[in-house]
């Protein structure tokens, strides 16, 4: 029932795990083109992790009530909200895909992040959804500082998303992370300002909003025990960073050479 506070040494280890998780996304990025299958993306991710000396946190991952997750990473295409399982269907122009990578270092530290990829020319609506979801993640990140509360993060994301006519998925959330994949706290992507857990230096958690073009309702695809889709089959997007609470603000840990440019309203990746 407690949120771990990371020591200076823990933070150094987390920086490495998170950079490596981000570098897996960099590695696969040039390959994400029309015609590639999500299984090929999975294989590239596995190849990169092997070169790094990391292992996938997702393969074989089995929370209570779930079958073991079969992928080295998650690939969630179009109306898939999250936890999409890599398969042999080629991506085509106009698709949008979230690739979510979590690695474990040799020292046992976890780094978790995801990005959206637009396949060829996408609809204006798809591009807007991805961009607004990215911005909502950063608005959430900008709330992070000692003395702020988790509800401030959720509120910032929800207000922005709903203000742009998008809906926030409620059933999945960000999470503490460190020597475990999912730790306390739960980081909801909706909420009321000034509510929830007080943020303290040394806390590390993910912020990973899932926003839908249509209604917020989701359902399980059913067949595989993992894949989550929008009930109305509308497009869904997600971006994820792992974030440290510093003495004065935040540090985004899942950064690397290939991380996308910051939104114009963000000044720094560490404050
Ligand atoms: N990486 C996801 C997250 O952000 C969790 C994926 S669990 C899996 O928390 F089993 F679906 F891979
Ligand atoms: Co996560
Ligand atoms: Co993730």
**Over the stretch 49-97, which tens digit does the pLDDT of each residue have?**
999 999 999 999 999 999 999 999 999 999 999 999 999 999 999 999 9
Q: How far apart (Å, rounded) are the C-alpha atoms in residues 60 and 58?
A: 6
Nearest to 136 by CA among 111, 164, 95: 164
pTM over 0.95: yes
Name the pLDDT band for 1 (thresholds 50, 70, 90): low
Q: Is the pLDDT of residue 14 over 90?
A: yes
> Cα dist. 110→70, 96, 102, 117, 133 in Å?
18, 26, 7, 23, 24
Ligand 1 atom with least separation from CA of 66: 10
CB 210 within 8 A of CB 135: no
The reply to whether ligand 1 has any atom less than 6 angstroms from the CB of 240 is yes
pLDDT at res. 222: 84
Average pLDDT, the chain: 98
**Over the stretch 200-252, which tens digit does the pLDDT of each residue have?**
999 999 999 999 999 999 999 988 999 999 999 999 999 999 999 999 999 99
According to CATH, the topology of domain 8-252 is Creatine Amidinohydrolase (3.90.230)
Report CA(8)–ligand 3 centroid distance (Å).
Answer: 24
The reply to whether ligand 1 has any atom less than 6 angstroms from the CB of 181 is no
Q: What are the boundaries of each domain within the chain? A: 8-252
């Amino acid at each position: 029932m407690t949120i771990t506070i990371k020591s200076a040494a823990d933070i150094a280890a987390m920086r490495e795990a998170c950079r490596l998780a981000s570098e897996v996304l960099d590695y696969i990025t040039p390959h994400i083109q029309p015609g590639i299958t999500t299984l090929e993306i999975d294989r590239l991710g596995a190849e990169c992790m092997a070169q790094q000396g990391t292992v996938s946190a997702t393969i074989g991952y089995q929370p209570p009530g779930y079958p073991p997750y079969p992928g080295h990473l998650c690939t969630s295409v179009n109306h898939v909200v999250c936890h999409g399982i890599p398969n042999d269907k080629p991506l085509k122009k106009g698709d949008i895909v979230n690739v979510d990578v979590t690695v474990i270092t040799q020292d046992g530290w976890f780094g978790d992040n995801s990005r959206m990829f637009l396949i060829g020319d996408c609809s204006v609506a798809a591009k807007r959804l991805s961009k607004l979801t990215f911005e909502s993640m950063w608005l959430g990140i900008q709330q992070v500082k000692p003395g702020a509360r988790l509800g401030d993060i959720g509120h910032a994301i929800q207000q922005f998303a709903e203000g742009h006519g998008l809906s926030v998925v409620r059933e999945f959330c960000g999470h503490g992370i460190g020597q475990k994949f999912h730790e306390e706290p739960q980081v909801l992507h909706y909420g009321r300002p000034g509510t929830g857990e007080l943020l303290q230096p040394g806390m590390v958690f993910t912020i990973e909003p899932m926003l839908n073009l249509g209604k917020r309702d989701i359902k399980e695809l059913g067949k595989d025990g993992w894949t989550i889709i929008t009930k109305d089959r509308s497009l869904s997007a997600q971006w994820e960073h792992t974030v440290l609470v510093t003495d004065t603000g935040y540090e985004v840990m899942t950064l690397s050479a290939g991380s996308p440019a910051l939104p114009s309203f963000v000044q720094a990746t560490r404050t």
